[in-house]
Chains A and B, each alone.
Chain A
Amino acid sequence: MTAVAAVRSVVLDCPEPGELARFYAAVAGGTPVEESPDWVVLKVPDGPRLAFQRAPGYAPPQWPHADHDSQQFHLDFDAGGTWAEVDAAEEQVLALGARVLDREDDERKGFRVYADPAGHPFCLCRIEEP
Chain B
Amino acid sequence: MGSMILRTAAGFLLPLLLLFSLFLMLRGHDEPGGGFIAGLVAAGGFAFYTFAFDTRHTRRLLRVDTRSLLGVGLVMAVLSGVPAAFFGQPFFASQWFRFTLPPFGEVTVSTPLLFDIGVYLVVVGVITTIVLTLADPEH
A and B bind = no
The interface of chain B, by Cβ under 8 A from chain A, is none
Q: Which residues of A contact B (CB under 8 A)?
A: none
